[in-house]
Chains A and B, each alone.
Chain A
Amino acid sequence: DVKVTQSSRYLVKRTGEKVFLECVQDMDHENMFWYRQDPGLGLRLIYFSYDVKMKEKGDIPEGYSVSREKKERFSLILESASTNQTSMYLCASSTGGGRGSNQPQHFGDGTRLSIL
Chain B
Amino acid sequence: DAKTTQPNSMESNEEEPVHLPCNHSTISGTDYIHWYRQLPSQGPEYVIHGLTSNVNNRMASLAIAEDRKSSTLILHRATLRDAAVYYCILGHRDGGGTSYGKLTFGQGTILTVHP
Contact = CB atoms under 8 A, between A and B. Distances in A.
A43 interface: yes
Contacts of A98: 100
A101 interface: yes
B93 interface: yes
Contacts of A94: 101
Nearest to A35: B105
Interface string A87-116: 000101010011111111111111000000
In terms of DSSP, what is the predominant structure of the interface of chain B? loop
A57 to B, nearest CB: 10
Interface centre among B41, B43, B91 (most CB of A within 10 A): B43
Contact of B43 (A48, A102, A104, A108): A108
A18 to B, nearest CB: 25
Contacts, number: 70
Contacts of A92: 43-44
* Interface pairs A-B: 9 shortest CB-CB: A107-B43, A101-B101, A104-B46, A43-B105, A100-B93, A102-B91, A102-B32, A50-B100, A42-B105
Contacts of A97: 101
A101 B100 contact: yes
A61 interface: no
Interface residues of A, number: 30
Contacts of A56: 98, 100
B68 interface: no
A111 B43 CA distance: 10
Contacts of B36: 105
Contacts of A58: 102
A52 interface: no
Given A109-B42, A110-B42, 5 more contacts: A44-B105, A90-B44, A100-B94, A105-B101, A108-B43
Contacts of B106: 42
Nearest to B48: A104
Which has the most chain A C-beta neighbours within 10 Å: B32, B44, B108? B44
Contacts of B98: 56, 99
A31 interface: yes
